[in-house]
């Protein structure tokens, strides 16, 4: 057994293992919470810390699968952002799904690997108090990258108790964590450090090594507080990219093999943020500000020897940036219109990204052969919004919102023809109607417009950096449209049921390009579907949930299908146990075959996995055993269909399925001590 995972376990000595007094906090049931009279749509919800910690998961990003209908996978090394799928979108690494930690956005615009890249590996799960989620462009406070939906990780202001944990598992999996809150007369200091290592089942071990840390100081209570938070993340890894299926069939490699043994990468993210909340007799004011630095150095090879039959097609994507921003919002609750109560919310948001040396290079065995393009990018935005909710009667309320955004792009490229500046603005109206409750049931009707930004390099590009051909710049801000009708019911005791019928349209689809490892603007697209979710929590000892979704996605000009849009998803689980004694969770997830080409002639296979977590709690101790992919399903996490070339094949290459295998059954054992 490798000794490296013991290092953070010495931190209780450094902290003095001080006991933090037990603080009373709001008990959140999670997705079974009764949101009648509060929710704006049927697809809005929240998940509690308990629900997150009860879930067995292979990778950090799967925390987001508490969002109904969201599927999280991976197509390469474990240190990268995950692949996300929701509401008929292949979201790549986050293009139309916004992720936030408190008041700080996670998505990276004009990113080296893909627009909207959202890597959540820097989040420590045990520090999350609640995850809030919403879907569709109906929320005035949500802007870029949120058409399909958004999720916000809300971290504990003060940990309810200190904890130390150690997890060991198959394929050299090690994880250790120490976290505690130390109370003072003025506030509370929270410290946490996590170390993880994982080789995975791959023929070439991932050697994923990750450090995470958090320092947070909070003054005040849950109604009025100020928090200052430092978060740090550093990781390095080898990778096994998706591989052509024909190489597996010919016996050149097995399902966990690779055809380029030098791909992989490193990444870090460090941030400092301040969050403030003040509540008075007339309303609530919240404000946040953040600054951080981010780095990614990634080597990939998806087409193998198609472009360069001698040295191979490996390429390097490099991103090094500083980011900063601020948000302020006021919710006014003492207003009225025609003697009807009004809640008015208004605010402003700004963000700046200063990206130095954003690069795409051709490489061989991580050695640079040539630079395709290199850019310095400055991107800045300012958004303002307002929304009024009016309760016209006891059974009818409306929301009317308006959002405006201003963007500035400044690109200095290694190719002079692709340098330039651009400005763009967009205005997004929102409307909502809620009827009820009748018999503990509400009805929702929502409509609105949103947007996603395009990569700054595409906004100013006039010359293809590879061919030298003239190209047209892309639209900076792309309009999206949405509509949704839904029901939320608490009619059956202890059961929360929601049903949504939705429609989304985008003026330009961001399409993943397998041979480039990025996404590019494409044709306009339409999507529609239904979602049905049920959460039953009859008491503290039992919870049962089911989530089912159907969707269809196609390009408007041609009627062709959007590749990798998932038509059917299902997730569900049962959890047993309380604060002491035995406990257990069994969870299932399924995603259906999906088109891999616009004509629909090539489809992926479906995927179904069961995972379980069981253990025993007594006093301050807990022991848990996780069985991931319990049935040892031989599914694929991701599938693409494109052209690649193996040594000895025709120069034009071969069209084929390219797959990245689901990891086989793995057991992980955890020991947890709380004080």
DSSP 434-461: EEEEETTEEEEEEEEEEEEEPPHHHHH-
Place of tokens 């409306």: 398
Cα separation, 60 vs 233, in Å, equals 13
In this predicted structure, what is the pLDDT of residue 20? Answer: 38
Structural domain of residue 650, as residue ranges?
Answer: 3-674
Q: What is the mean pLDDT of residues 542-567?
A: 96
**627 φ, ψ to 5°?**
-120, 105
Cα separation, 571 vs 574, in Å, equals 11
Dihedral of the alpha carbons of 532, 533, 534, 540, in degrees to the nearest 10: 180
- Using the predicted structure, report yes or no on whether residue 3 has a pLDDT greater than 80: no
- Using the predicted structure, report yes or no on whether residue 200 has a pLDDT greater than 60: yes
In this predicted structure, what is the pLDDT of residue 623? Answer: 98
Under a CB-based contact definition with an 8 Å cutoff, are residues 69 and 415 in contact? no
Q: How many other CB atoms are there within 10 angstroms of residue 14's CB atom? A: 10
- Using the predicted structure, report yes or no on whether residue 21 has a pLDDT greater than 90: no
Q: How many other CB atoms are there within 10 angstroms of residue 416's CB atom? A: 9
- Structural domains of the chain, count: 1
> Which one, of 667, 661, 673, lies nearest residue 635 by Cα?
661
Place of tokens 């479906």: 606
Residue 601's contacts (CB-CB under 8 Å, 6 or more residues apart) are none
CA angle at residue 411 from 404 to 385, to 5 degrees? 10
Q: What is the mean pLDDT of residues 13-29?
A: 40
- Using the predicted structure, report yes or no on whether residue 8 has a pLDDT greater than 50: no
Q: Which helix (H) or strand (E) holds 504?
A: strand 495-506
Contacts 24+ apart (CB under 8 A), 464-470: 465/360, 465/372, 465/373, 465/415, 465/418, 466/372
Which of 9-18, 68-77, 485-494, 508-517 comes out lowest in average pLDDT?
9-18
Question: pLDDT grade, residue 29 (50/70/90)?
Answer: low
Task: Give me the CATH number covering residue 569.
Answer: 2.40.170.20
Tokens of 404: 């405006």
In this predicted structure, what is the pLDDT of residue 18? Answer: 39
In this predicted structure, what is the pLDDT of residue 10? Answer: 42
Cα separation, 658 vs 637, in Å, equals 11
**What count of Cα atoms within 13 Å lies in the side-chain half-sphere of residue 673?**
8
**493 φ, ψ to 5°?**
-55, 135
Q: Which residue has the higher pLDDT, 15 or 69?
A: 69
**Residue pLDDT, tens place only, 639-648:** 999 999 999 9
Contacts 24+ apart (CB under 8 A), 601-606: 602/641, 602/657, 604/564, 604/636, 604/639, 604/657, 605/635, 605/636, 605/639, 606/635
β-bridge mates for residue 360, sequence order: 317, 373
Residues in the chain: 675
**Residue pLDDT, tens place only, 447-497:** 999 999 999 999 999 998 878 889 889 999 999 999 999 999 999 999 999
Q: How many other CB atoms are there within 10 angstroms of residue 624's CB atom? A: 22
DSSP state of 61: G
Tokens of 603: 């489809």
Question: pLDDT grade, residue 521 (50/70/90)?
Answer: confident
Cα separation, 137 vs 149, in Å, equals 8
DSSP state of 340: E
Cα separation, 154 vs 47, in Å, equals 10
Question: pLDDT grade, residue 401 (50/70/90)?
Answer: very high
Tokens of 260: 């380029």
Return the percent helix, strand and coil in the chain, to nearest 5: 5, 60, 35
**Residue pLDDT, tens place only, 166-181:** 999 999 999 999 999 9
**Residue pLDDT, tens place only, 325-357:** 999 999 999 899 999 999 999 999 999 999 998
In this predicted structure, what is the pLDDT of residue 519? Answer: 56
Question: Average pLDDT, whole number, for the chain?
Answer: 93
Q: What is the mean pLDDT of residues 14-40?
A: 61
Q: What is the mean pLDDT of residues 595-622?
A: 97
**How many H helices and E strands in the chain?**
4, 35
**Residue pLDDT, tens place only, 213-229:** 999 999 999 899 999 99
In this predicted structure, what is the pLDDT of residue 513? Answer: 54
DSSP state of 47: E
> Among positive and negative, which fits the CA dihedral 47, 49, 52, 55?
negative
230, exposed or middle or buried, with CB in 10 Å at 0-12, 13-18, 19+?
middle
Which of 13-22, 146-155, 311-320, 422-431 comes out lowest in average pLDDT?
13-22
Cα separation, 60 vs 125, in Å, equals 8
- Using the predicted structure, report yes or no on whether residue 52 has a pLDDT greater than 70: yes
Cα separation, 127 vs 505, in Å, equals 36
Question: ω before 48 within 30° of 0 (cis)?
Answer: no
- Using the predicted structure, report yes or no on whether residue 17 has a pLDDT greater than 80: no
DSSP E strand boundaries for 507-541: 510-513, 518-521, 525-539
CA angle at residue 659 from 656 to 660, to 5 degrees? 160
In this predicted structure, what is the pLDDT of residue 511? Answer: 64
| SS3 call for 421 | strand
């Amino acid at each position: 057994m490798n000794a490296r995972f013991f290092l953070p376990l010495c931190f209780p000595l450094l902290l003095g293992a001080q006991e933090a007094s037990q603080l009373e906090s709001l008990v959140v049931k999670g997705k079974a919470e009764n949101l009648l009279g509060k929710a704006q749509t049927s697809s809005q919800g929240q998940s509690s810390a308990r629900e997150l910690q009860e879930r067995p998961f292979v990778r950090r990003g799967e925390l987001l699968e508490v969002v109904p209908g969201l599927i999280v996978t991976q197509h390469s090394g474990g240190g990268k952002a995950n692949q996300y799928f929701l509401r008929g979108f292949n979201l790549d690494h986050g293009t139309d799904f916004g992720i936030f930690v408190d008041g700080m956005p996670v998505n990276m615009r004009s990113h080296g690997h893909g627009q909207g890249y959202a890597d959540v590996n820097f989040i420590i799960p045990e520090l999350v108090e609640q995850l809030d989620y919403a879907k569709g462009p109906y929320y005035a406070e949500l802007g870029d990258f949120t058409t399909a939906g958004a999720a916000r990780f809300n971290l504990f202001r003060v940990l309810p108790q200190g904890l130390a944990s150690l997890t060991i598992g198959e394929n050299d999996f090690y994880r250790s964590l120490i976290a505690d809150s130390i109370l003072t007369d003025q506030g509370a200091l929270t410290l946490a450090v996590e170390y993880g290592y994982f080789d995975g089942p791959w023929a070439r071990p991932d050697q994923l090594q990750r450090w995470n840390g958090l320092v947070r100081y909070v003054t005040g209570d849950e109604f009025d507080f100020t928090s200052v938070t430092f978060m740090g993340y550093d990781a390095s890894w080898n990778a096994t990219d998706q591989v052509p299926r024909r190489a597996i069939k010919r016996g050149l490699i097995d399902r966990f093999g690779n055809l380029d043994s030098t791909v992989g990468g490193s990444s870090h993210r460090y941030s400092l943020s301040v969050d403030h909340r003040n509540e008075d007799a007339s309303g609530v004011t919240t404000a946040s500000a953040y600054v951080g630095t981010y780095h990614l150095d990634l080597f990939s090879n998806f087409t193998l020897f198609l472009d360069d039959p001698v040295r191979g097609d490996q390429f390097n994507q490099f991103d090094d940036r500083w980011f900063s921003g601020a948000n302020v919002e006021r919710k006014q609750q003492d207003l009225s219109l025609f003697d009807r109560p009004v809640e008015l919310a208004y605010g402003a948001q700004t963000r700046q990204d200063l990206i130095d040396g954003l690069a795409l290079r051709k490489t061989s065995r991580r050695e640079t052969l040539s630079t395709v393009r290199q850019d310095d990018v400055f991107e800045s935005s300012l958004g303002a919004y307002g929304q009024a909710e009016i309760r016209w009667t006891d059974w009818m309320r409306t929301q009317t919102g308006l959002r405006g955004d201003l963007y500035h792009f400044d690109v200095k490229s290694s190719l002079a023809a692709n340098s330039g500046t651009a400005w763009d603005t967009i205005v997004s109206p929102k409307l909502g109607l809620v009827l009820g409750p009748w018999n503990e049931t509400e009805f929702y009707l929502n409509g609105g417009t949103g947007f996603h930004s395009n990569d700054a390099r595409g906004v100013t590009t006039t010359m293809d950096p590879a061919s030298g051909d003239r190209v047209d710049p892309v639209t900076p801000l792309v309009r999206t449209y949405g509509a949704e009708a839904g029901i939320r019911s608490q009619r059956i005791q202890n059961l929360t049921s929601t049903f949504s019928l939705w429609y989304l349209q985008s003026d330009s689809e961001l399409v993943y390009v397998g041979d480039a490892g990025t996404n590019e603007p494409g044709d306009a697209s339409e999507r529609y579907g239904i979602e049905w979710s049920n959460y039953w929590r009859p008491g503290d000892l039992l919870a049962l949930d089911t989530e089912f979704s159907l969707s269809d996605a196609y390009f408007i000009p041609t009627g062709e299908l959007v590749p990798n849009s998932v038509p059917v998803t299902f997730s569900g689980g049962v959890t047993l146990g309380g604060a002491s004694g035995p406990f257990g969770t069994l969870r299932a997830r399924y995603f259906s075959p999906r088109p891999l080409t616009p004509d629909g002639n090539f489809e992926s296979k479906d995927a179904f996995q069961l995972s379980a977590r069981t253990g025993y709690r007594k006093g301050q101790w807990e022991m848990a055993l996780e069985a991931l992919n319990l049935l040892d399903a031989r599914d694929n996490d991701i599938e693409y269909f494109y052209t690649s070339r193996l040594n000895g094949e025709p120069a034009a290459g071969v069209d084929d399925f390219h797959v990245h295998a689901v990891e086989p059954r793995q057991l992980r054992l955890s020991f947890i001590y709380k004080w």
